[in-house]
Amino acid sequence: MKYKSGLTILCMMLFMQAFSQLQNLDSLLGEYRQKAAQEKIHIHFDNSRYLPGQTIWYKAYLLKGDMPSDLSKNLYLDWFDGNGKLLSQTIAPVANAVSFGNYTVPETFKGSHLQVLAYTRWMLNFDSVFLFRHTIPVTSSQLSASAAGAIVPETTLQFFPEGGDLVEDIPSILAFKAINSEGMPVSVTGTIFTKNKQPVSQFATTHNGMGKISFTALPGESYTAEWADPQGNTRTTVLPTPRNTGLVITLSEAADNRFFSIQRKADSEERFKKVSVVATLNEQLLFRANANLMDKTKITASMPVADFPSGVVRLTVFDVNRQPVAERIFFVNNEEYRLIPELITDTLNLEKRGKNVYQLSLSDTVPATLSVSVTDGQDLHDTSRNIFSQFLLSSEIKGHVHQPAYYFSSNTGTVLQDLDLVMLTNGWRRFSWEHVLTGTAPLFRYSRDTGYLSIAGKIDNLSDARIKRAETLNLVLMAKDSTKQFIFTPLQPDGSFREDDLVLFDTTKVFYQLNKTFIPARSRVNIRNTFLPFDSLRTIRSLQKYLPDTTGMARIKAILAEQKRVEELMKQASLKEVIVRTKVKTRLQEMDEKYTRSGLFQGGQSRDFNIVDDQTAFASPSAFAYLQSRVAGLQINDAYSTNPSATWRRQSVSYFLDEIPTDASMLASISMSNIAYIKVFDPPFFGATGGGAGGAIAVYTRKGDDTKTMFVGMDYTLLPGYTPIREFYAPNYAEKQINFTRTDLRRTLHWIPNLLYDGKGKPLTFSFYNNDISKNLQVVVQGITQEGKLIYLSKLLQ
């Protein structure tokens, strides 16, 4: 998002001019940001829970700081069971900072929940706590709620002094947080005692297992908290050891400002008497001030945060030696990041299989990408997280934030107080000040994915003479639908090769052959993709287990089971019976219908050649040699060379490979065993640039059953690509289909993963049909603009 300049340098009587050693902090942060920019991920799922065998649809959004990320081209999603065992991995290409795909829950899955871990290669260079994590409930008929909740998780309690340390004789805010072993908040009460068992202070959690008290540590004293866990057991926690030197920072809020106080001990070291205070967000300097504590032990000042960008701000105090000595994070919510779309009802029809039509209107003039899910409004919906809470809060701090969307429900009163408890009890360490101040960056094990899938490999035991003669390795990439790509990749002196920036889905057959020569029997060809390797033995610790909510569980199980059955039926839906009467087609007519796609290439004034059924065609080394003397008026020159040409009426012929313009050398490199069909168009051919005064030669490579004999003599290997992306299926009840007579209990009625807004103000229209049971509908819209504004809307239609 584009912001006004947020840097504020505070100049007051109690502050001095900035220390020279921190004058260049802004540029140091900029250098670090260039070297070590970090990505964040949010994922919008189509629904909140699933059944074994059902498909999970998702769309991922990637940010770099507060703008759409341009760092990565590949997104990895690891799918774990509830015990942390890796089940599967999906890989999807990233375009314009978004990616979408699907994952099918295994039919044999018996757990209560899945865990999703999403990341890019670049994100693996940083702390793993900043990877995207999410728990997805799975409703299984083989799981009982009582069994899932049988084990009582252990509770732990931690104390967090504001600013990082307790310092003797200086009043501090002491925050605390109680969670169980599954990461869920727990309410506790207790008492703090001295080492001599004298009670000092009582405490109690006030929100989601968190709370705070005012506390002053006495010299030479140590403290222990005694508290009761939910089972009534008495537990003890040792408080952080107070320091006998140092300083304390405290923060408070007032209107558009944040007041902060810095207090040192009267007998503190010299390095604490001249300090610098800086505030940063997304590795950008927002505020800088320098405090003179030579003649006083405490100062108070304010930061004007009204012009700060929203997010988790890091407030750090440095001593005179540029060493960080205290730190406090706080949240700024100026709401400038929000873009709320308007959902306009065109047709609301909650009757059985009623058609609904809606429009989305956005007030912004900047293009955006959105995702839309429409689900059964009576279902249990996960409202605990959204694109606001993920990008601005959850992805910015180390600890688990319970129900983070709550902190964006209001910007006043209790919500702000509760949000500050989150800031007091969670760490923020996206970067190290040592790296920033020394101008260095962490050692990066993983490079950025600046391109899509790469094919890399090497031919072993290949002589220098053969490499020089071949120059290139000819690759034919054939997808499962028989579509093909021809690649001629240069060979390096050591026999290695690499082809970058490919988009291949599912498993591709890679046929390979040296140009102008053959691969000796003693040589071994290794071909691989450059994705991160899949480690089936990898596990993760389950940070948050899902405890089933039994409310409405029987209804959900029935709906989910029926939805799964309906999905299978709809895949098999057949069109109404029709009687077709047609003439018998010739083999050339069949070939023309099978291979030509554009109207300019279909039929027309042309000479057509069926290569599949012409056994004599394989005696010709290329299409040019084959066509020589076969078409009156077509003049072929150097037909048997690698650089032939063709003319008609002294005009150059245009060339097409699978209806894509190409050149003569490319056509000459295609083996006749790979060609299915050739069309030679009389001049002029209007499908060519300039009107095709010399006519055209169109060559079509084999597909489908015609590929069975196309690569005779060529070896191949199987290459995994991106995870196949299925198209979300929704019934069109305007058409009559025999299986539509079955009950429709779909829970996800509509899913649009890639709805594009062009910024011109025209509303986006979408429509869908209701199922047989929903009386209200839940619509969730999420998205991001090209300038980083976040889009969110959740609305119940009834």
Half-sphere exposure of 728 (CA within 13 A, CB side): 23
Q: In the structure encoding, which two tokens stand for residue 706, read together?
A: 């015609």
Q: What's 344's DSSP letter? A: E
Q: What is the average per-residue pLDDT within 679-700?
A: 90
Q: What is the average per-residue pLDDT within 710-736?
A: 84
Give the span between the Cα atoms of 523 and 494, in whole angstroms: 13
- Across the chain, mean pLDDT equals 87
pLDDT of residue 738: 57
Give the span between the Cα atoms of 139 and 111, in whole angstroms: 8
Give the span between the Cα atoms of 447 and 429, in whole angstroms: 21
Q: What's the predicted TM-score (pTM) here?
A: 0.81
Tell me, what amino acid is at 550? Answer: T
**Is a pLDDT exceeding 50 seen at residue 17?**
no
Contact 552, 492 (CB under 8 A): no
By mean pLDDT, which of 88-92, 251-255, 493-497 is the weakest? 251-255
Q: What is the average per-residue pLDDT within 747-752?
A: 94
Contact 559, 745 (CB under 8 A): yes
Tell me, what amino acid is at 375? Answer: T
Instruction: Report the relative pairing of strands 274-281 and 311-318 from DSSP bridges.
Output: antiparallel
Contact 138, 114 (CB under 8 A): yes
- For residue range 267-300, list pLDDT tens digits in order: 889 999 999 999 999 989 999 998 999 999 999 9
**Is a pLDDT exceeding 70 seen at residue 566?**
no
Of the candidates 192, 132, 131, which has an alpha carbon nearest to the alpha carbon of residue 159? 192
What percentage of the chain carries pLDDT values higher than 90?
A: 60
Give the span between the Cα atoms of 363 and 762, in whole angstroms: 10
Kindly indicate the confidence band of residue 572, based on its pLDDT and cuts at 50, 70 and 90: low
Kindly indicate the confidence band of residue 578, based on its pLDDT and cuts at 50, 70 and 90: very low
Helix (H, G, I), strand (E, B) or coil at 619: helix
Q: 283 Cβ partners below 8 Å, 6+ apart? A: 29, 30, 32, 33, 37, 65, 430, 431, 436
Q: What are the strands, taking DSSP E only, across 105-149?
A: 113-119, 132-137
Give the span between the Cα atoms of 639 and 626, in whole angstroms: 9
Give the span between the Cα atoms of 61 and 789, in whole angstroms: 12
Residues paired with residue 376 on neighbouring β-strands, in sequence order: 777
What percentage of the chain carries pLDDT values higher than 70?
A: 88
pLDDT of residue 614: 86
Q: What is the rounded radius of gyration, in angstroms, for the C-alpha atoms of the chain?
A: 33
Give the span between the Cα atoms of 19 and 365, in whole angstroms: 43
Kindly indicate the confidence band of residue 520, based on its pLDDT and cuts at 50, 70 and 90: confident
- For residue range 487-514, list pLDDT tens digits in order: 999 999 999 999 999 999 999 999 898 8
**Is a pLDDT exceeding 90 seen at residue 416?**
yes
Instruction: Look at the block and give the residue holding tokens 């090769």.
Output: 497
pLDDT of residue 535: 83
**Is a pLDDT exceeding 50 seen at residue 315?**
yes
More confident residue, 597 or 311: 311
Enclosing H/E stretch for 477: strand 472-478
Q: What's 201's DSSP letter? A: E
Contact 314, 329 (CB under 8 A): yes
Instruction: Report the relative pairing of strands 74-80 and 67-68 from DSSP bridges.
Output: unpaired
Alpha helix positions (H), 129-277: 145-148
Enclosing H/E stretch for 783: strand 777-785
Q: What is the average per-residue pLDDT within 248-273?
A: 90
Q: What's 585's DSSP letter? A: P
Give the span between the Cα atoms of 40 and 443, in whole angstroms: 20
Q: What are the strands, taking DSSP E only, across 162-228?
A: 172-180, 189-194, 199-204, 210-215, 223-228
pLDDT of residue 18: 40
What proportions of the chain, in percent to the nearest 5, are helix, strand and coil? 15, 40, 45
Q: What's 166's DSSP letter? A: -
pLDDT of residue 5: 45
- For residue range 607-639, list pLDDT tens digits in order: 999 998 887 887 788 999 999 989 988 999 999
Give the span between the Cα atoms of 21 and 326, in whole angstroms: 18
pLDDT of residue 141: 60
- For residue range 726-740, list pLDDT tens digits in order: 999 888 888 876 556
Give a three-class secondary structure readout of 14-82. Answer: CECCCCHHHCCHHHHHHHHHHHHCCEEEEEEECCCCECCCCEEEEEEEEEECCEECCCCCEEEEEEECC
Q: In the structure encoding, which two tokens stand for residue 219, read together?
A: 């010299």
Q: What's 657's DSSP letter? A: E
Kindly indicate the confidence band of residue 550, based on its pLDDT and cuts at 50, 70 and 90: very low
